[in-house]
Chain A
Amino acid sequence: LAKTTQPISMDSYEGQEVNITCSHNNIATNDYITWYQQFPSQGPRFIIQGYKTKVTNEVASLFIPADRKSSTLSLPRVSLSDTAVYYCLVGDTPGRLQAQLWSRNWSGGYQKVTFGIGTKLQVIP
Chain B
Amino acid sequence: GAVVSQHPSRVICKSGTSVKIECRSLDFQATTMFWYRQFPKQSLMLMATSNEGSKATYEQGVEKDKFLINHASLTLSTLTVTSAHPEDSSFYICSARDKTGGAGSPLHFGNGTRLTVT
Residues of chain A touching chain B, judged by Cβ–Cβ distance below 8 Å, are 32, 34, 36, 41-46, 49, 51, 87, 93-94, 101-102, 104-105, 107, 109-118
Contacts and interface: CB of A to CB of B under 8 A. Distances in A.
Contacts of B110: 43
5 contacts: A32-B103, A46-B108, A105-B60, A110-B49, A118-B43
Interface size class of B (residues with CB under 8 A): 20 to 34
Contacts of B59: 104
Given A41-B91, A42-B112, A116-B43, A93 B60 contact: no
Given A34-B106, A46-B106, A49-B106, A41 B97 contact: no
B104 A32 contact: yes
Contact of A41 (B57, B104, B114): B114
Contacts of B78: none
Contacts, number: 75
Interface of B: 4, 6, 32, 34, 36, 43-46, 49, 51, 57, 59-60, 91, 93-95, 97, 101-112, 114
A93 B104 contact: yes
Contacts of B49: 109-112
Given A45-B109, A114-B46, 5 more contacts: A36-B107, A44-B107, A51-B104, A102-B43, A115-B43
A37 B38 CA distance: 15
Question: Interface on chain A toward B: helix, strand, loop, or mixed SS?
Answer: loop
Given A87-B43, A113-B46, A94 B106 contact: no
A109 B4 CA distance: 22
A115 B109 CA distance: 13
Given A93-B104, A94-B102, A111-B97, A42 B111 contact: yes
A109 to B, nearest CB: 6
Nearest to A102: B43
A93 B101 CA distance: 9
Nearest to B110: A43
B46 A43 contact: no
